[in-house]
């Protein structure tokens, strides 16, 4: 990888710098402000917009910027030319910008080739993209791998355009450069890895994809403040081509990945959704199902399908990694999806915080999901002599007492704490507390 991907080590955060801890923000306002800061940037699968976004992430975590040259073959794909935009517009004969990239970067068909021309409305129309079903919103459209140009605008605006002599300008560059992504490795006590991935290639849309970037950054801060069991690898990559490129350059190390998930569309007010990995019943799949079931909030568990985000690449049959997808309302299921309505009014601070809380709860499970073996497996130990049982009889056992009994009974080296929690239908915190108490009493030991 190091022979191909150029790592750009910019100035990292220092202890003297005051860094906002996104993970400690109980209101979600700091997470939301991070989305606000990223919102104006024009991002794509390559280019300076991605670099500027990574620079903003680096205000919170010591991200490494990786640059992969255009033209590199990565499996069946090729790293594309780099695209950057300076300006783009359509002017009428009076010189007025009727469509203006500087007003909204969604106005430009993403990856448009440079053009300067004058044309009639009829000549212009084949290059105009609207969504008649959402006539007041600008749709998001791309043409990454077909050389063309175009503009996106509200359908009602197109209907109002009159015959005129229009000036068209796309002041962009498209040529040899780099695909850029950000990577952070948080070392743990073991070399086994948890992969957290989000895409970083969409222009001004908040739920898809800025919410995932914000939550992933906050999670990285949370993990940097602890000594985790697993090593965590965070990827901030352009969608599809970014994950394909990373996998192609890291085939030798992907065998270390034991858990992971993709974060996307996690800031809207809808209920949580988890999409299972290709295997369907991995530990991360079960952990997410357990967390969502325990919280008692409305939620949905989806089976894997090969349509979606970068889980498609991580779960491709040659890799088949245990990678699921964390969302609130799934992509394509909210009206604002891939349009200018996916704006700062659509994402909510409380939704961002709620997602982060559930992510941290799931991480706590995989971090502490150990296998134990009872030291005294023949009949139930007399818990009272270990200070673990009330001396007053005749009372129904509370959750903690039940958890002690469940953990003792199921600690045969074959059942993990998650197995026990699922079967006992008790909270993770209670099961974990019971395991700690029994371990400290010398009644169970990790196997």
Domains of the chain in start order, with CATH, are 6-79+178-367 (3.40.630.10), 85-175 (3.50.30.90), 371-446 (1.10.10.10)
pLDDT in tens, 356-373: 999 999 999 999 999 999
User: Can you give the pLDDT at residue 114?
Assistant: 98
* Mean pLDDT, rounded, for 344-354: 98
User: Can you give the pLDDT at residue 8?
Assistant: 63
* Whole-number Å distance between alpha carbons of 227 and 72: 37
pLDDT in tens, 227-263: 999 999 999 999 999 999 999 999 999 999 999 999 9
* Whole-number Å distance between alpha carbons of 194 and 371: 19
Tell me the three state secondary structure of residue 305: coil
Q: Is the pLDDT of residue 395 over 50?
A: no
* Mean pLDDT, rounded, for 97-117: 98
* Whole-number Å distance between alpha carbons of 40 and 52: 11
Q: Is the pLDDT of residue 390 over 70?
A: no
pLDDT in tens, 7-44: 665 545 545 568 999 999 999 999 999 999 999 999 99
- Nearest CA to 43 out of 105, 129, 132 is that of 105
Q: Is the pLDDT of residue 394 over 80?
A: no
Q: Is the pLDDT of residue 324 over 60?
A: yes
Instruction: Tell me if the pTM is above 0.85.
Output: yes
Q: What are the Cα distances from residue 207, in Å, to 47, 94, 216? A: 21, 37, 13
User: Rounded to 5 degrees, what are φ and ψ at 169?
Assistant: -140, 125
User: Can you give the pLDDT at residue 316?
Assistant: 98
Reported as a pLDDT band with limits 50, 70 and 90, residue 392 is: very low
Instruction: Please tell me what DSSP assigns to residue 40.
Output: T
């Amino acid at each position: 990888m190091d022979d191909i991907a150029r790592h750009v080590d910019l100035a990292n955060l220092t202890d003297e710098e005051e860094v906002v801890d996104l993970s400690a923000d109980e209101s979600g306002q700091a997470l939301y402000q991070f989305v606000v800061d990223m919102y104006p940037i024009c991002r794509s699968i390559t280019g300076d917009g991605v670099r500027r976004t990574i620079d903003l992430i680096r205000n919170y975590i010591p991200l490494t910027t990786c640059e992969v040259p255009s033209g590199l073959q990565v499996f069946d794909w090729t790293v594309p030319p780099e695209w950057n935009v300076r300006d783009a517009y359509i002017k009428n004969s009076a010189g007025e910008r009727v469509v203006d990239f500087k007003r909204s970067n969604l106005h430009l068909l993403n990856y448009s080739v440079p053009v300067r021309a004058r044309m009639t409305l009829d000549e212009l129309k084949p290059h105009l993209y609207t969504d008649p079903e959402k006539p007041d919103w600008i749709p998001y459209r791309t043409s990454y791998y077909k050389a063309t140009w175009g503009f996106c605008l509200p359908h009602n605006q197109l209907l109002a355009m009159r015959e005129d002599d229009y000036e068209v300008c796309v002041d962009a560059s498209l040529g040899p450069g780099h695909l850029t992504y950000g990577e952070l490795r948080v070392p743990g006590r073991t070399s086994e890895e948890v992969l957290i991935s989000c895409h970083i290639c969409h222009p001004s849309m908040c739920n898809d994809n800025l919410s995932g970037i914000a939550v992933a950054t906050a999670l990285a801060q949370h993990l940097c403040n602890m000594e985790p069991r697993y090593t965590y690898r965070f990827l901030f990559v352009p969608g599809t081509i970014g994950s394909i490129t990373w996998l192609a350059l890291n085939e030798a190390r992907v065998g270390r990945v034991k858990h992971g998930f993709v974060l996307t569309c996690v800031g809207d007010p809808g209920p949580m959704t988890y999409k299972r990995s290709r295997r369907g019943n991995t530990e991360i799949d079960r952990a997410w199902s357990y967390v969502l079931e325990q919280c008692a909030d409305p939620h949905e568990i989806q089976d894997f399908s090969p349509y979606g985000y970068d889980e498609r690449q991580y779960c491709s049959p040659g890799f088949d990694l245990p990678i699921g997808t964390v969302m609130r309302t799934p992509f394509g299921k909210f009206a604002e999806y891939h349009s200018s309505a996916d704006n700062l009014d659509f994402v909510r601070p409380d939704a961002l915080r709620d997602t982060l809380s559930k992510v941290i709860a799931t991480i706590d499970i995989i971090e502490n999901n150990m296998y134990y073996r009872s030291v005294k497996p023949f009949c139930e130990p007399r818990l009272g002599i270990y200070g673990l049982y009330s001396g007053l009889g005749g009372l129904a056992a509370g959750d903690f007492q039940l958890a002690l009994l469940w953990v003792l009974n199921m600690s045969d080296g074959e059942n993990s704490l998650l197995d026990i929690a699922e079967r006992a239908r008790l909270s993770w915190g209670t099961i974990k507390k019971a395991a700690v108490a029994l371990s400290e009493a010398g009644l169970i030991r990790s196997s």
